[in-house]
Every structure is written in structure tokens, then in C-alpha cells.
């Protein structure tokens, strides 16, 4: 399928992990791809790709997944839903291209890219094993969940664009429905990603054990072979 993208890292041997980066409104995959340089040294066997939004947004190369002109709490979900099939198809395209399954796929988004990443797990549970949502939110809070995807919310404490309260509400909602979630608040940070945010993301991918591992241990079951290659 054709879509705007930038390959940050392509390992010489078959990829063991897949990291997909999704930018915010008005940004582009090359600029967002700079974040991939943080992940590449720690995941040398990962295919890392920065994905461009589905439509232009102002002067090139700015892109977006959906328009924020006139967006409200009432119409945001419909805009997300309208483009979600293309978003999911893009994720699956790169899973097929890389030969990496959902168990070793991470969706990493900022702002609108975080919205799309979080909402994709609502629309297609188990699409990826991890979501890292920098300064994001749900369009509407989830009402059902599972531990198939571990969600890491990382949010600036002084974000004037997507208020911290949306991340707090997301954490509370996921906890209530039995999801697997962490929330890190970066003090004095606005609507941006800084070194502290990045270090939190890297640490979660390397060291946070998914909740479903504990559930499997308690139930006495063993992980499937496909689950063995993951992040950590």
C-alpha cells in the first residue's frame, strides 16, 4: 500500500521487533523519525518506521490523520473512526513486510499520533503489544479492555493542548476495565517530548513486564512461542 513514511532503521537480518512512529498534526514522518534515533541503538534488531498522516495539512510536508478544524468532544470520535481502517491497514502492512507479529509490535505516537494509536487498540484489540502515547488521549474512553496490549501514557504536566486530565482519565478507565497501563507525568513540560519523556519510554520498553505475563504465570499457562520475542 502507498503511504508517506520514513524508514529510520532496517536491520540486515530479519527484524525481531517492529516500532512504528506516528506524528502529530502538521508534522511529518521525517521529523518524527528523529525520535527513532533514540530507540535504534537499544533495539538493533528492530525495523523502525515513521508513518505520515493520511492527508496533507497546510504547506508540504505537513500531514495529519484527521482535521482538527471545528473538532469537538462530540465529533472527534467520528473523525477517528472514519480514518481508522486505513491506520490499521498501515500497521498490518508493516507487520507483513517485516514478518513481525503483534506480540513484538509497538505503536509510538505523539499528540494526534497518540490518539490514533490508542484508538486503534480499541478498534482492533491485540493489534500491537505496546503503545507509547506521548501527550495523547482517547477520543472517548474505552469501556472494555484486556492485557494483550500494555499502554504507556507519558504526558507533560503543563500541556496546554491536550490537558493532563485526559491522560489521568485514560489511566483510571483502563484500570477499571482490567487493562495494562502506566502513567508518567513529566513536570513542567508542555505539549512536547523531551529527554525525560524519551528515557521513560525507553525504560518501559526495556524493563516493564507486561501484565499478561503475570496472569499467565498465575494461571499456570505458558506463553506462546510468538510471545517470546517481545520488548524487554
User: Is 111 annotated in the active site?
Assistant: yes
Active site residue 191: yes
Contact 81, 120 (CB under 8 A): no
Whole-prediction pTM: 0.93
What is the average pLDDT across 98-123?
A: 98
Is the separation of the CB atoms in 20 and 51 below 8 Å?
A: yes
- Per-residue model confidence (pLDDT) at position 118: 98
Alpha-carbon distance of 139 to 74, in angstroms, equals 9
Per-residue pLDDT for 226 more than 90? Answer: no
Identify whether 5 is a catalytic site residue. no
- Active-site residue identified among 23, 50, 98, 111: 111
- Of 1-5, 44-48, 129-133, the range with the lowest mean pLDDT is 1-5
Section 18-23 average pLDDT: 98
Cα Rg of the chain, angstroms: 17
Among 27, 50, 117, 159, the one annotated catalytic: 159
User: What domains can you pick out in the chain, each with its CATH number?
Assistant: 5-228 (3.40.50.1820)
- Omega before residue 61 within 30° of 0, cis: yes
Amino acid at each position: 500500500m502507498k503511504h508517506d513514511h520514513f524508514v529510520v532503521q532496517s536491520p540486515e537480518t530479519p527484524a525481531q521487533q517492529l516500532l512504528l512512529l506516528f506524528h502529530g498534526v502538521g508534522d511529518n514522518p521525517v521529523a518524527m523519525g528523529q525520535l527513532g534515533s533514540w530507540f535504534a541503538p537499544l533495539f538493533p534488531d528492530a525495523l523502525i518506521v515513521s508513518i505520515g498522516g493520511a492527508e496533507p495539512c497546510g504547506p508540504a510536508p505537513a500531514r495529519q490523520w484527521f482535521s482538527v478544524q471545528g473538532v469537538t468532544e462530540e465529533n472527534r470520535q467520528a473523525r477517528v473512526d472514519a480514518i481508522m481502517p486505513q491506520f490499521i491497514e498501515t500497521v498490518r502492512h508493516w507487520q507483513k513486510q517485516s514478518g513481525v507479529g503483534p506480540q513484538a509490535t509497538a505503536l509510538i505516537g505523539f499528540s494526534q499520533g497518540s490518539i490514533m494509536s490508542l484508538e486503534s487498540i480499541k478498534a482492533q484489540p491485540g493489534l500491537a503489544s505496546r503503545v507509547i502515547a506521548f501527550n495523547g488521549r482517547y477520543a472517548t474512553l474505552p469501556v472494555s479492555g484486556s492485557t494483550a496490549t500494555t499502554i504507556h501514557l507519558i504526558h507533560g504536566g503543563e500541556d496546554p493542548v491536550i490537558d493532563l486530565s485526559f491522560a489521568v482519565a485514560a489511566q483510571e478507565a483502563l484500570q477499571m476495565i482490567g487493562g495494562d497501563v502506566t502513567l508518567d507525568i513529566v513536570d513542567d513540560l508542555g505539549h512536547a517530548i523531551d529527554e525525560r519523556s524519551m528515557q521513560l519510554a525507553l525504560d518501559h520498553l526495556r524493563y516493564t513486564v507486561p501484565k499478561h505475563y503475570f496472569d499467565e504465570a498465575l494461571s499456570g499457562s505458558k506463553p506462546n512461542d510468538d510471545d517470546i520475542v517481545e520488548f524487554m
